[in-house]
Structure 1
Amino acid sequence: MFRHPRLSTLLAGLLLAGCTAQIHQLPQAAKQQPLPDGLRADVAVLETTDLHSNVLSYDYYKQKADPTLGFERTVTLIRKARDQFTNSLLFDAGDTIQGSVLADYQAQVNRVECGQELAIYKAMDAIGYDGGTIGNHEFNYGLTFLSQVTGTPMNVEDGTTQHCAGPHYPLVLANVYSTRDDQPIFKPWTIVNRNIAAFTPDGSKVSVPLKIAIIGFTPPPIMQWDKQNLEGKVKVTGVVEAAQKYMPDIRAQHPDLVIAILHGGLNTAPYTPDMENGGWYLAGVPGIDVLLLGHEHTEFPGPRFAHMQQVDDTRGFVRGVPAVMGGFFGKDLGVIRLALVREQGRWTIDKSKTFSQVQPICPPMLVGGKPTVSPSNCVLPDPQIPLVVGNVQQAAVDYVNTPIGQSTVRMSTYFADEGDMSALAPVNAAEIDYVRDALNTAHPDLANAPVLAAAAAFRNGFGGPDDYTDVLPGALTLRSAADLYFYPNTLSAVKVDGAELKAWLEKSAERFNRIDPHATGEQPLINEKFPGFNFDQIQGGVSYVIDVSKPAGLRIEQLRYHDKPITPSQIFVVVTNNYRASGGGRFPGLDGHNIVLAAPDGTREILAEWLKSHPTLSADDLPRASWHFARLKTRGTVVFTSASDKQPVAEADDLHTIRQLRDNGDGTAVYAIDLAH
């Protein structure tokens, strides 16, 4: 179901009418001659992105089906699109092999062998792709694994020279090079040749060749985010520089279309070669005809990009280039309808008849006049995909159910933004204990330094009402550890002074909007433009207050360590993950220069071992919440959104100032928080 029904109806009529015509093959002699002007063809460019190895519609943490996500349902949309469109191409924009329990199982627990194909790639091959690129999370498991599972020998340290099983479609990546020979580690671009159905001016349907060039890009900040995997082994260039480097070679092949596949989004800030979301600038490189986007876990076209200059957020154009970003986790399929016309001996895009859309696997329903996602309205999964995955799904489920202990406390993130640190406390406690032991040998000079830890709620509702961590009292399993710490980061520790610690917390406090105590209407507490995974909450003897009435940068008050004011020159060791320590999130003072410990162990594994060492976890084993909001009497109501009917969870965690205002009917609810008490 398209989100623009008027355009969809028009398109369906055009295409279905064309499907009834008889196809004529052009004579062999004609194939050797230039195609005649006046030909027209509609080509659908289909895109998935940020699948994160969500092959099936399943929540590994809650151990139940989740019909609102999963590639098996995206496949249903792909098949429908192929039935609807006479001509189609299918591409993937990266972040494909990492992000689920199934992915971790195949990478870290029972690693696939050289001759085995990853489950996600097997599923994608079952439907058939025309090409793809590499996202930043592809590098999380290291170059050895990436080289193996993509079937790409690499002349890099930790690469493999073997030709192992990989996806049955070409992967292209133009902006990552080996430091050994300055050569790209993947093919930077390639040519895809397809035959398409076209129409002559008299309405005859003919089969003609179409030559498509594809070029791929990943976010340049991978060198910071995966420093331990990439430093000294590869180097990265900006996406614009990479495109400009290879466009002459691409043009020399005289393709009919050039499709740029970028694992990145749109940003109109001044361009730099390390820009994370450089799609707006990439669209300005001459010769690029189509732009496929990703990484931002949102949809384009869509309202998030309204009012961005030279961007049509309704029809899906970026600086005049047709573009699409097809959501994440298999929740959507991106579709660009290209209207091609043959003019002056070449195919051109008729922009008046070209548009982009994002098709959801769960089309919203109107409930009380408001669009609402209901699991009952989701498309059915494709029956072939579970068969392709086979026994590895059950093996992954069995693995995460391995018992590791018991807990007497509930650990959740429903109200992590409002001060409930129950799910962050075990992560911080495990990290502090690990680093205190490690510093004795790795950094004796810091053995007596105060050790703090910073953690953020990774599952904070961004993906919907089920996207929260909620570990109930009772048995703890490896699944519990994976739920408490969602990403396969490794642990890092940095040396900071008191001024840098305060700057870290000020950056984190940008998670909140500035609240006007005199405003009479509702005011949203959360700044949705600041990701929840960047709201670091620091524990380990530190305490502080956040005043949301103050402007960003001036919100942290009463910063203390063991009840004593922290001085600007006071030294601390703060434990975090490799992403943050190396510059992820652009926190002040965190760019990799002050890392004092880069552990080889994953944070999730460290947490699992810590939980095993506390076989009956109680509140006494966990550090207390370290911060609260400054008291603020407001005339209007301060509101935020969380999963519905969770007020008892807030009450149990002493957040008595939170009350549910109204149920949204989609599994979420609006809550009020009283900042005056």
Structure 2
Amino acid sequence: MSASNRNRTTLAILETSDVHGHVLPIHYANNQPYEVGLAKIATLIDRERQINPNVILIDNGDLIQGTPLTYYHARIDNRPPDPMVQVLNHLSYDAAVLGNHEFNYGQDALGKAIRESNFPWLSANLVKSGSDEPFFGQPYLLKKLPGGITAAILGLTTHYIPNWENPHHIAGMEFLDAVETAKRWVPILRERADLVIVSYHGGFERDLETGEPTEKLTGENQGYQLCMEVPGIDVLLTGHQHRSITGTVNGVVVVQPSYQGRALGKVSVELEQQAGRWVVAAKSAELLSAENVEPDAEVVELVRPYEEKTQIWLDQPIGKIKGDMLVHDPMEIRTKDNPLIEFINRVQMAYGQVDISNTALFDNEAPGFKPDVTMRDIVANYIYPNTLRVLRVTGQDIKDALEQSASYFAPYDGGPITVNPRFTTPKPQHYNYDMWEGIEYRINISRPVGERVVMLRYKGQPVKPDEYYEVVMNNYRAGGGGNYFMFQGKEVVRDIPTDVSELIASYILERGTIEATCDHNWEVVHD
């Protein structure tokens, strides 16, 4: 069938989501090849446009943060146009949706990126406090297509952002419920358009087939509710969870294209004329993998000046490590005290001016620190632009947080220690398992979840449930991110607005040589 005729036409909706600053197919920890990035996705986009020129191209959020390339631009040299926006401009994107990580570098950096965009940024439920006026961008886009077809794209952003983000970065904003916002806008767009697309930077908290909860129902991922509770949606583009999803829920075609530019989401929609107007006759979704795809040469060249500066910065020497601070086995790191985690905690304690800290090994690709440390090593291990916050919490809060971390481990069955599927499915969440310094504790994974902390002391004495302690942690955790609700709303003693990666670099630079030490203050055991 041809792409179109007088009474029937086919269009393609192409989606990227959670690209997180990846353009080139390299791993910044070692510059080795990596099957990701917008340069590869650009080749796929070009192929699709050659097949069918009737294309709508949307980025679904978490675009401008996530790699040393974007960090260098945001924090070191923010004068040139944003490199990620430059790529989207070059590829003629129709729209982008605000994701939660768009706010990580603050309103000035985000506002600059939006001003530099040749496309609108959408988010109907992100408004100025006390009004319905969009804080950034616009609620929706109406796109005219050949044959007199009108497509409406409604942008929505997970409204859970205030639980994670630095309050300064979202000052003056209000995040409305995504489902309630859709209920308001979709009927309006249904009257104005032949095709209604919702692009939601959020995912699914329920099984797509059964509707059963697959994670704690916090409202962070309302994709299923959008399909079930908001009539009139034809296509739902999703993201945030980094999942690979295609399917149909309650007649709504849904797609989620993984992350880092590993795949391009594609929804094919056939429309036909009935009684003088266009109606959807058929629709389907698929994922187009970037694996083994040749990068687009023009995109590679476009980011070359940014990349050259970033690579020079990454190879700057910072200092030396005396001893072993490498990651040999991520699970071993998470089951007993080790020099790498102890070091990061001690950096946090120094800048937080307290003697209790928690942090995580964010993913299983963290390499640790080599004897000669560069900025590349730091950003390879501390991959998020977190800042620090000191909270005043109770001993009970500390115990509850340790129990939440202890749930990371699956019930012990006598074999190798394994991870609770809740921390791996639908996406890896190793960053939600914390390890502490400044207290002594023991976790027994042979015991039921919620009863695993079998020893907890501070300065040799039992931690008292009703006594207060000052603890330094990253801003994501301090806001309750990762289901650490015990930290929500707690008194903020001190806010350290500098990125943790910068603090680590400064700490090493000031001392020159760091000794890998380990006081063995905690361990995971089993019967």
Secondary structure, counterpart of 2:56 in structure 1: strand
**Counterparts in 2 of 1:361 and 1:270: CA distance versus 1, 3 Å:** closer
Q: Which residue of 1 aligns with 2:209?
A: none
Alpha-carbon shift at residue 146 of structure 1 (Å): 1.0
Q: Supply the distance in 2 between the matched residues of 1:561 and 1:250 (Cα, whole angstroms).
A: 58
Residues 644-676 of structure 1: per-residue CA shift (max 9 Å, x gap): xxxxxxxxxxxxxxxxxxxxxxxxxxxxxxxxx
Residues 617-661 of structure 1: per-residue CA shift (max 9 Å, x gap): 112xx44343222233xxxxxxxxxxxxxxxxxxxxxxxxxxxxx
- Corresponding letter in the other structure for 2:102: E
Residue 363 (structure 2) pairs with residue 459 (structure 1): yes
Backbone CA RMSD of aligned residues? 2.3
- Which residue of 517, 523, 529 corresponds with 2:422? 529
Q: Supply the distance in 1 between the matched residues of 2:469 and 2:504 (Cα, whole angstroms).
A: 22
Alpha-carbon shift at residue 81 of structure 1 (Å): 2.4
Q: Supply the distance in 1 between the matched residues of 2:163 and 2:81 (Cα, whole angstroms).
A: 29
- Which residue of 180, 189, 195 corresponds with 2:140? 189
Secondary structure, counterpart of 2:199 in structure 1: strand
TM-score (norm 1): 0.72
Residue 46 (structure 2) pairs with residue 76 (structure 1): no
Q: Which residue of 2 aligns with 1:581?
A: 478
Residue 59 (structure 2) pairs with residue 92 (structure 1): yes
Residues 535-567 of structure 1: per-residue CA shift (max 9 Å, x gap): 011112x22222222221111111122443322
Alpha-carbon shift at residue 380 of structure 1 (Å): 1.5
Alpha-carbon shift at residue 616 of structure 1 (Å): 1.2
**Counterparts in 2 of 1:234 and 1:87: CA distance versus 1, 3 Å:** same
Q: Which residue of 2 aligns with 1:434?
A: 351
Secondary structure, counterpart of 1:128 in structure 2: coil
Q: Supply the distance in 2 between the matched residues of 1:499 and 1:271 (Cα, whole angstroms).
A: 25
**Is residue 190–residue 215 contact of structure 1 (8 Å, CA) maintained in 2?**
yes
Q: Which runs of 5+ in 1 are unaligned?
A: 1-13, 27-38, 152-165, 196-207, 302-315, 363-377, 437-449, 461-466, 633-677
**Counterparts in 2 of 1:135 and 1:265: CA distance versus 1, 3 Å:** same
Secondary structure, counterpart of 2:340 in structure 1: coil
% of aligned pairs identical? 30
Secondary structure, counterpart of 1:613 in structure 2: helix
Secondary structure, counterpart of 1:423 in structure 2: helix
Q: Supply the distance in 1 between the matched residues of 2:132 and 2:148 (Cα, whole angstroms).
A: 35
**Is residue 334–residue 435 contact of structure 2 (8 Å, CA) maintained in 1?**
no
- Corresponding letter in the other structure for 2:375: L
Q: Which residue of 2 aligns with 1:356?
A: 285
Q: Supply the distance in 1 between the matched residues of 2:492 and 2:523 (Cα, whole angstroms).
A: 29
- Which residue of 11, 27, 43 corresponds with 1:59? 27
**Counterparts in 2 of 1:181 and 1:508: CA distance versus 1, 3 Å:** same
Residue 117 (structure 2) pairs with residue 167 (structure 1): yes
**Is residue 98–residue 104 contact of structure 1 (8 Å, CA) maintained in 2?**
yes
Residues 485-541 of structure 1: per-residue CA shift (max 9 Å, x gap): 211111101112222111001001121111234xxxx6761123221110011112x
Bigger drift between 526-535 and 179-188 goes to: 179-188
**Is residue 385–residue 499 contact of structure 2 (8 Å, CA) maintained in 1?**
yes
Q: Which residue of 2 aligns with 1:292?
A: 237
Q: Supply the distance in 2 between the matched residues of 1:57 and 1:495 (Cα, whole angstroms).
A: 43
Alpha-carbon shift at residue 613 of structure 1 (Å): 2.4
Residues 244-303 of structure 1: per-residue CA shift (max 9 Å, x gap): 222343234x211111010100113599997111111112311211100000011102xx
**Is residue 53–residue 103 contact of structure 1 (8 Å, CA) maintained in 2?**
yes
- Which residue of 400, 412, 423 corresponds with 2:340? 423
Matches within 5 A, 1:375-390: 378-390=292-304
**Is residue 241–residue 273 contact of structure 1 (8 Å, CA) maintained in 2?**
no
**Is residue 337–residue 523 contact of structure 2 (8 Å, CA) maintained in 1?**
no
- Corresponding letter in the other structure for 2:267: I
Alpha-carbon shift at residue 569 of structure 1 (Å): 2.8
Q: Which residue of 2 aligns with 1:139?
A: 103
**Counterparts in 2 of 1:272 and 1:192: CA distance versus 1, 3 Å:** farther
Q: Supply the distance in 1 between the matched residues of 2:68 and 2:214 (Cα, whole angstroms).
A: 38
Count of equivalent residues:
511
Residue 229 (structure 2) pairs with residue 261 (structure 1): no
Alpha-carbon shift at residue 180 of structure 1 (Å): 6.6
Alpha-carbon shift at residue 182 of structure 1 (Å): 4.3
Residue 451 (structure 2) pairs with residue 554 (structure 1): yes
Secondary structure, counterpart of 1:406 in structure 2: strand
Q: Supply the distance in 1 between the matched residues of 2:443 and 2:274 (Cα, whole angstroms).
A: 62
- Which residue of 205, 223, 235 corresponds with 2:174? 235
- Corresponding letter in the other structure for 1:41: T
- Corresponding letter in the other structure for 1:295: H
- Corresponding letter in the other structure for 2:55: S
**Counterparts in 2 of 1:504 and 1:107: CA distance versus 1, 3 Å:** same
- Corresponding letter in the other structure for 1:455: T
Alpha-carbon shift at residue 181 of structure 1 (Å): 4.9
Q: Which runs of 5+ in 2 are unaligned?
A: 207-212, 424-428
Q: Supply the distance in 2 between the matched residues of 1:93 and 1:625 (Cα, whole angstroms).
A: 44
Q: Supply the distance in 1 between the matched residues of 2:215 and 2:322 (Cα, whole angstroms).
A: 51
Residue 18 (structure 2) pairs with residue 50 (structure 1): yes
Bigger drift between 418-427 and 323-332 goes to: 418-427
**Counterparts in 2 of 1:91 and 1:524: CA distance versus 1, 3 Å:** farther
Alpha-carbon shift at residue 615 of structure 1 (Å): 0.9
Q: Supply the distance in 2 between the matched residues of 1:286 and 1:503 (Cα, whole angstroms).
A: 41
Residue 263 (structure 2) pairs with residue 332 (structure 1): yes
Alpha-carbon shift at residue 599 of structure 1 (Å): 1.6
**Counterparts in 2 of 1:346 and 1:516: CA distance versus 1, 3 Å:** farther
**Is residue 492–residue 598 contact of structure 1 (8 Å, CA) maintained in 2?**
yes
**Is residue 425–residue 623 contact of structure 1 (8 Å, CA) maintained in 2?**
yes
Residues 200-253 of structure 1: per-residue CA shift (max 9 Å, x gap): xxxxxxxx122111111111121221142245411110101111222343234x
- Corresponding letter in the other structure for 1:214: I
- Corresponding letter in the other structure for 1:52: H
TM-score (norm 2): 0.91
**Is residue 423–residue 469 contact of structure 1 (8 Å, CA) maintained in 2?**
no
Q: Which residue of 2 aligns with 1:342?
A: 273
Q: Supply the distance in 2 between the matched residues of 1:251 and 1:318 (Cα, whole angstroms).
A: 19
Residues 397-419 of structure 1: per-residue CA shift (max 9 Å, x gap): 11122222111234344423343
Q: Which residue of 1 aligns with 2:226?
A: 282
**Is residue 215–residue 422 contact of structure 2 (8 Å, CA) maintained in 1?**
no
Q: Supply the distance in 1 between the matched residues of 2:326 and 2:178 (Cα, whole angstroms).
A: 39
Secondary structure, counterpart of 2:422 in structure 1: coil
- Which residue of 113, 132, 148 corresponds with 2:112? 148
- Corresponding letter in the other structure for 1:58: I
Bigger CA radius of gyration: 1
- Which residue of 436, 453, 459 corresponds with 1:538? 436
Bigger drift between 179-188 and 218-227 goes to: 179-188
Higher normalized contact order (CA 8 Å, seq sep 6+, divided by chain length): 2
Q: Supply the distance in 1 between the matched residues of 2:240 and 2:184 (Cα, whole angstroms).
A: 23
**Is residue 214–residue 258 contact of structure 1 (8 Å, CA) maintained in 2?**
yes
Secondary structure, counterpart of 2:293 in structure 1: coil
Secondary structure, counterpart of 2:486 in structure 1: coil
Secondary structure, counterpart of 1:390 in structure 2: helix
Alpha-carbon shift at residue 469 of structure 1 (Å): 2.8
Q: Supply the distance in 2 between the matched residues of 1:67 and 1:589 (Cα, whole angstroms).
A: 38
Alpha-carbon shift at residue 420 of structure 1 (Å): 5.9
Residues 131-175 of structure 1: per-residue CA shift (max 9 Å, x gap): 220100001111122111111xxxxxxxxxxxxxx2222221101
Alpha-carbon shift at residue 483 of structure 1 (Å): 2.3
Alpha-carbon shift at residue 106 of structure 1 (Å): 0.9
- Corresponding letter in the other structure for 1:532: H
Alpha-carbon shift at residue 350 of structure 1 (Å): 3.1
Alpha-carbon shift at residue 594 of structure 1 (Å): 2.5
Residues 435-469 of structure 1: per-residue CA shift (max 9 Å, x gap): 22xxxxxxxxxxxxx62111011132xxxxxx333
Residue 488 (structure 2) pairs with residue 591 (structure 1): yes
- Which residue of 123, 128, 131 corresponds with 1:178? 128
- Which residue of 629, 637, 641 corresponds with 2:524? 629
Residue 93 (structure 2) pairs with residue 129 (structure 1): yes
**Is residue 49–residue 55 contact of structure 2 (8 Å, CA) maintained in 1?**
yes
